Amino acid sequence: MGDDAIFQPLSFDSETVSEIESLCVNCHENGTTKMLLTKIPFFQDVLIASFSCPHCNYENRSIDSAGKVEVMGRKHFLTVKKQEDLNRRVVRPAHSSIHLPDMDATFPCSEGSLTTVEGVINNIAENILALQPER
């Protein structure tokens, strides 16, 4: 690709972050999307993307699978026993779900994210509170 290319090629061989100008879904001005194609050991190939708008300060981050979709899903189990367990990192692929057996509840995830156990719990709580008027 020449210097006038709109998109730089993404590659696992490079740790280069690609930046492109893109439209903000909040204010419809131009913001910046940064993308990195990388491998997470013992997990899968992922595309990490981050958008920020300097006009309205809207931000959005996502982590999406960049590899093949497994025929069968994977289950990972974690029992939180102490405060430090809340700091464990969690990679939530798009269209996955979190099941909390003590609450007998399952929470779907439409977008992929990279967070902590505490972040997952906070996100679930925020979503429940945001949807309360509908209940």
Classify 83 in phi/psi space as left (phi over 0), alpha (psi -120 to 50) or beta: alpha
From residue 135, how far is each of 48, 105, 108, 122, 132 by CA, in Å?
34, 16, 18, 20, 5
From residue 128, how far is each of 86, 124, 125 by CA, in Å?
20, 6, 5
For residue 42, the model assigns a pLDDT of: 65
Whether residue 66 is predicted with pLDDT greater than 70 in this model: the reply is: yes
Greater confidence (30 vs 18) lies with: 30
Q: Are strands 59-65 and 89-92 parallel, antiparallel or unpaired?
A: unpaired
Q: What average pLDDT does the segment 14-39 reach?
A: 89
Q: What average pLDDT does the segment 112-126 reach?
A: 86
Q: What average pLDDT does the segment 99-118 reach?
A: 84
For residue 1, the model assigns a pLDDT of: 43
Quick one: pLDDT band at residue 58, thresholds 50, 70, 90?
very high
For residue 12, the model assigns a pLDDT of: 55
